[in-house]
């Protein structure tokens, strides 16, 4: 039985921290938990960001009250890099005509002191989306042409990107925008796919003027914010107040980046958006006891919570297995003091309109604990629960604001986030794309020669060899502007490719159009090259690697259908076009294979062997299947990693997949780490 612990005391001095493998810890190795509170009181911890460490939750480090900051605003949604060396919050509400961002960052890493301050920022709207990339280089922020209050009265909405260095200076202006993109509706959540260099916006309708815009997920290039996908409509986020929709929306991303999860708020359901197949569905959240609301959601990334979804049902929290996209599997649930209450006098707590985001929940990075907003009536705003793999147990209570009349627990932040792809190993050995990479360099300290001792001297023992591990921090970035590729587009031309899509054209024509959209995303004038291979009973090259767009387009027009589907022939032919003598030094060698059927006359196992040989030679392989009559297991094994195997329910879905691949292609190791 866990002992309940009530956290009552704290200090305004925020404690020190260090990092290990991307998980924020203090000097004793304990995870950091950040919480934002919104009660209108002037004491430390009220309307502030505070923190606790997981191994010592009895000590609350209460943040500086918002009223003591320049450009004041209560902290709402929070964002931080993977190492959580700073955190930024958008305003949840404000009395200021020009509200700013709430920021905490390390004042002096050696002393462990932190500072709290306001950041002057343009065009804020309350509870708007905010995100920081894992490396902590850029801030992404939802904005509008309204200053305060009625966000839904705004006519224009957009998302801007800023350098973190500008944010940490204490002021950002319109001139500091690195990139900006307009949106049709307010953006409630920004979800960064760290693996694919894209960002997803969850847009919500929040006024009668926006009835034409259903809630949807749009996808954008992480570097430029250019639209990659125009939008996938999702189920409605039902709220009594349209303005409230911004503050009650929560979103998560799957580990492989294929699915965005969004809560349903006034329905006990979860919206699933597959950004690969461009489909969306809604499934019931099977709480044992009926709940009227679905608040925050959080996907476990490690430990006993790995790949499990934590859901806040306002008066209860639950853990569910999400491996089956058709139905959640109930694991456990537990009643909690609700962070929101509906009374005759009105609504108490962070409702998403007055304070928020509403009903927040978060796994810790180790997957052993869940932190949840709780208890409108106090004394604590947040609780920590331990998860043993099958059940939840109360672990600790967190009181940030000592004002006891009512509580307004807003956001929660931990180091739990989508894993990033491991960087190539920084050694002189050329790394293959499918190799397991290390993020640290290993140095062996060689013993120096020991001089002969004099007769009167006492010989010192020769030190034994010691292996030490030194962290490596590189400023290089792999982005669409810096990576170059030699890509082989491989298209199935079996007779089944003449079957019609839902749009009424042949699958082959849809495949050609998707391939065309792919090369539009390449930088052919700056070093990218592309080739075209087709296959049926055999395989043939229609265009060798070229930087000439017209050559590839002409080759596309020339391909014709045949009989059978020889997958081994396709891989062998494509790999031949990427032989060392044909590749350009510094370009990533890529094969993108598309098929709609099972391999014949040769078995798919032969294709797996051919693919393995190509991968061992440094080729990155993506595989795409159309429909369900596929050698799916073989196609996944052929791909360089499971996330590089895509399935399109219909050939009309291929365009989005090719666009996704265009940003998934990794940088050639020799261009960044190896060969140094």
Average pLDDT of adjacent 10-residue blocks, the chain of 676 residues: 34 30 42 82 78 87 70 79 90 61 74 75 78 94 70 76 92 90 89 91 68 72 88 65 69 93 87 90 90 89 94 94 89 91 62 71 95 83 92 92 70 84 39 33 35 42 44 45 83 95 93 92 90 96 96 94 96 96 91 96 95 94 93 93 86 85 64 41
593 pairs with which residues across the strands?
A: 490, 623
156 is in which domain, residue-wise? 10-413
Specify whether 513 is located in the same domain as 627.
yes
Specify whether 311 is located in the same domain as 408.
yes
Assess if residue 654 is contained within a domain.
Answer: yes
Specify whether 610 is located in the same domain as 528.
yes
Residue 243 carries which DSSP code? G
CA distance 148 to 165: 26
Nearest in space to 225 (alpha carbons), one of 606, 467, 479: 479
Look at residue 405 in the predicted model and tell me its pLDDT: 61
Reduce the DSSP state of residue 314 to 3 states and report it.
Answer: coil
CB 75 within 8 A of CB 38: yes
Assess if residue 341 is contained within a domain.
Answer: yes
Q: Where are the beta strands (DSSP E) in 258-302?
A: 259-263, 269-274, 279-284, 297-299
Tokens 């999860």 -> residue? 261
Specify whether 395 is located in the same domain as 529.
no
Give CA separation, 131 vs 138, 159, 189, 200, 413, in Å.
Answer: 8, 11, 8, 11, 12
626 pairs with which residues across the strands?
A: 648
CB 604 within 8 A of CB 567: yes
Q: What is the largest CA-CA distance in the chain?
A: 97
CATH number at residue 231: 2.130.10.10
Give CA separation, 398 vs 295, 388, 393, in Å.
Answer: 20, 21, 15
Specify whether 409 is located in the same domain as 492.
no
Residue 598's Cβ-count burial label (10 Å; 0-12, 13-18, 19+) is: middle
- Tell me phi and psi for residue 125, to 5 degrees: -130, 155
The domain total for the chain is: 2
Look at residue 666 in the predicted model and tell me its pLDDT: 63
Look at residue 599 in the predicted model and tell me its pLDDT: 96
CATH number at residue 528: 3.40.50.410
CA distance 106 to 32: 14
What is the Rg, in whole angstroms, of the alpha carbon atoms belonging to the chain? 27
Angle at 349 between CA 345 and CA 351, to 5 degrees: 95
Of 413, 445, 463, the residue at which a domain comes to its end is: 413
Assess if residue 461 is contained within a domain.
Answer: no
């Amino acid at each position: 039985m866990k002992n309940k612990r009530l956290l009552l005391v704290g200090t305004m001095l925020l404690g020190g921290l260090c990092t290990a493998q991307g998980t924020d810890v203090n000097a004793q190795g304990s995870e950091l938990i950040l919480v934002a509170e919104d009660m209108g009181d002037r004491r430390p911890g009220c309307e502030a960001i505070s923190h606790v460490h997981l191994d010592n939750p009895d000590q609350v480090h209460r943040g500086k009250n918002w009223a003591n900051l320049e450009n004041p605003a209560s902290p709402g949604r929070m964002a931080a890099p993977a190492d959580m060396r700073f955190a930024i919050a958008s305003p949840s509400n404000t009395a200021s005509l020009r509200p700013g961002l709430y920021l905490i960052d390390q004042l002096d890493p050696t002393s462990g002191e932190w500072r709290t301050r306001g950041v002057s920022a343009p065009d804020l709207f309350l509870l708007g989306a905010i995100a920081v990339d894992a490396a902590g280089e850029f801030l992404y922020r939802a904005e509008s042409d309204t200053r305060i209050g009625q966000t839904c009265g705004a006519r224009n909405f957009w998302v801007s990107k800023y350098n973190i260095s500008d944010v940490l200076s204490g002021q950002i202006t319109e001139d500091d925008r690195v990139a900006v993109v307009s949106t049709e509706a307010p953006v409630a959540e920004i979800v960064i796919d760290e693996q694919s260099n894209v960002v997803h916006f969850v847009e919500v309708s929040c006024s009668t003027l926006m009835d034409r815009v259903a809630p949807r997920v749009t996808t954008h290039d992480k570097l430029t914010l250019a639209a990659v996908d125009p939008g996938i409509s999702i189920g409605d986020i039902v709220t009594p107040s349209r303005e409230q929709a911004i503050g009650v929306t929560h979103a998560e991303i799957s580990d492989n980046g294929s699915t965005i999860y969004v809560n349903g708020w006034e329905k006990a359901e979860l919206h699933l958006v597959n950004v690969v197949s461009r489909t969306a569905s809604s499934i019931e959240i099977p709480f044992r006891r009926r709940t009227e609301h679905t608040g925050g959601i959080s996907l476990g990334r490690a430990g006993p919570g790995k790949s499990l979804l934590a859901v806040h049902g306002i008066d209860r929290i639950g853990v569910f297995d999400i491996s089956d996209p058709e139905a959640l599997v109930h694991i456990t649930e537990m009643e909690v003091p609700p962070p929101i209450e509906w009374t005759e006098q009105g609504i108490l707590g962070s409702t998403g309109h007055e304070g928020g985001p509403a009903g927040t929940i978060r796994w810790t990075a180790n997957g052993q604990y869940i932190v949840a907003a709780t208890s409108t009536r106090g004394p604590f705003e947040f609780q920590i629960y331990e998860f043993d793999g099958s059940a939840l147990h109360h672990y600790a209570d967190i009181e940030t604001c000592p004002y006891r009349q009512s509580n307004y627990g807003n956001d929660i932040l931990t180091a739990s986030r989508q894993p990033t792809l491991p960087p190539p190993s920084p050694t002189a050995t050329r790394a293959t794309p499918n190799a397991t990479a290390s993020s640290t360099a290993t140095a062996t300290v060689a013993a120096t020669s020991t001089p002969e001792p004099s007769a009167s001297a006492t010989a010192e023992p020769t030190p034994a060899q010691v292996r030490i591990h030194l962290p490596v921090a590189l400023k290089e970035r792999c982005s669409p502007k810096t990576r170059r590729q030699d890509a082989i587009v491989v298209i199935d031309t079996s007779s089944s490719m003449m079957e019609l899509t839902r749009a009424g054209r042949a699958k082959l024509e849809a495949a050609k159009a998707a391939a065309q959209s792919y090369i539009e995303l390449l930088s052919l004038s700056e070093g990218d090259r592309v080739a075209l291979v087709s296959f049926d009973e055999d395989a043939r090259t229609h265009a060798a690697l070229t930087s000439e767009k017209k050559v590839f387009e002409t080759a596309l027009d020339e391909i014709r259908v045949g009989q059978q589907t020889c997958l081994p022939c396709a891989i062998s032919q494509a790999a031949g076009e990427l032989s060392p003598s044909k590749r350009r030094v510094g370009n990533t060698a890529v094969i993108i294979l598309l098929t709609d059927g099972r391999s014949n006359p040769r078995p798919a196992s032969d294709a797996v062997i051919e693919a393995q040989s190509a991968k061992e030679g440094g080729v990155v392989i993506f595989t795409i299947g159309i429909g369900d009559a596929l050698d799916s297991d073989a196609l996944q094994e052929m791909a360089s990693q499971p996330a590089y195997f895509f399935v399109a329910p219909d050939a009309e879905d291929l365009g989005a997949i090719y666009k996704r691949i265009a940003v998934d292609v990794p940088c050639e190791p020799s261009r960044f780490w190896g060969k140094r």
